[in-house]
Amino acid sequence: MSKYINPYTDFGFKKLFGEEANKDLLIDFLNQLLPAHHQIASLDFRNPEILGEMKHERKAIFDIHCEAKSGEKFIVEMQKAKVNFFKDRSLFYATLPIREQQAKKGDWDFGLTPVYMIAILDFQYDENEERQKFFRSVNLKDQDGDVFYDKLTFKFIQMPLFTKGEDELESHFDKWIYFLKKLESFDEIPKILDEAIFEKAFEVAEVAKMTPQQYEQYQESLLTYIEVKEVVKTAKDDGKREVAKELKELGVDISIIIKSTGLSSSEIDEL
């Protein structure tokens, strides 16, 4: 059993970033992603239960109401996505806090509070190797690339594309991503993360400090995570085999099939 939680599980994600007692962890992490004028001074979680029938899909998505150090209010939608059509869902979920601003009492002048959608992805959606990006910051822009609307921003983090080792970390943001990606494999706090904020994060993430009820909930969450990953992996493997089989029947050279599918020569021979 790992010493620390898997942060990609629903339980682990909420334990680190979705509890009142750990707001300082979330603020420190988000401030690495947000611009200078929206550095967070304080934040409040919105109760996901009010989303009714959608709450089963949004249990790993937090609506976070923030106040910047400048005093401006803004909203962060933070999600751990592992679903199909995640771009579509991200756009859909980002519209919810936009539409709900219409519910203000009295006359409304359509002035909107800025919204950020931040997604930490334990998969990669960039399939074209030449255009893969670990981190994307997306705004609505015009044909010349100029920002048309700056109150809706998407921040996508593709964790599998982060490949830096401990000696390559250059920023506090790098350290957070390294922490999240490697957390479950750590046996002790690495020297590069020997800072107060990460010391607390490690303490929060320590499995041995869970109550029996929390441990049971974590085990259920971990099992669900593993099952989902296996289903996805099986689907991908089956798809690769079908492609390899078709290429083999067409007489394509085996070296090309290996490069195209990632299967070994022995796996292709068995088809």
Highest mean pLDDT among 17-21, 64-68, 71-75: 17-21
Kindly state whether residues 16 and 147 are assigned to the same domain. Answer: yes
Q: Which residues pair with 5 in a beta bridge?
A: none
pLDDT at 88: 81
User: Are 113 and 32 members of one domain?
Assistant: yes
The answer to whether 44 and 86 are in contact (CB under 8 A) is no
Q: 210, 232, 258: which is the final residue of a domain?
A: 210
Which residue range is the domain that position 126 belongs to? 10-210
pLDDT computed for residue 239 by the predictor: 76
What average pLDDT does the segment 69-78 reach? Answer: 76
pLDDT band at 136 (very low <50, low <70, confident <90, very high): very high
* Residues listed for the chain: 271
Question: Are both 67 and 184 inside the same structural domain?
Answer: yes
Q: Count of alpha carbons within 13 Å of 22, Cβ hemisphere only?
A: 21
Quick one: which of 120, 110, 116, 94 has its CA closest to 40?
116
| The pairing of beta strand 135-141 with beta strand 147-158 | antiparallel
More confident residue, 84 or 181: 181
Q: Are residues 182 and 216 in the same domain?
A: no
For the chain, report the end-to-end CA distance as a whole number of angstroms.
37
Please state the rounded mean pLDDT for residues 84-94. Answer: 77
Residue 125 has a pLDDT of 77
pLDDT digits (tens, 9 = 90+) for 121-130: 888 777 676 7
Report which listed range, 46-55, 107-116, 182-191, is most confident. Answer: 182-191
pLDDT higher for 34 or 89? Answer: 34
End position of a domain, from candidates 168, 183, 210: 210
pLDDT at position 105, please? 55
* 139 in the same domain as 47: yes
What is the number of structural domains in the chain?
Answer: 2
218 and 205 housed in the same domain: no
| Residues 141 and 217 reside in one and the same domain | no
Which residue, among 225, 211, 169, 215, has the nearest Cα to 192 in the 3D structure? 169
Residue 51: pLDDT band with limits 50, 70, 90: very low
Range among 217-226, 229-238, 243-252 with highest mean pLDDT value: 217-226
Contact 123, 83 (CB under 8 A): no
Token digits of residue 96 = 């919810």
At 3, the pLDDT band (50, 70, 90 cuts) reads very high
Query: Residue 1 falls within a domain, yes or no?
Result: no
pLDDT digits (tens, 9 = 90+) for 211-231: 999 999 999 988 888 877 776
Q: Does one domain contain both 256 and 178?
A: no
Tens of pLDDT along 149-159?
A: 888 899 999 99
Query: Do both 72 and 195 map to the same domain?
Result: yes
Q: Is the pLDDT of residue 56 over 50?
A: no
Q: State residue 167's pLDDT score.
A: 93
Of all residues in the chain, the percent with pLDDT exceeding 70 is 83
Share the mean pLDDT of the chain. 82
**Which pLDDT tens digit goes with each residue over 22-31?**
999 999 999 9
Among the listed residues 70, 81, 82, 85, the one whose alpha carbon sits nearest the alpha carbon of residue 34: 70
Q: Select from 158, 188, 210 the last residue of a domain.
A: 210
Same domain, 183 and 252: no
251 domain residue, yes or no = yes
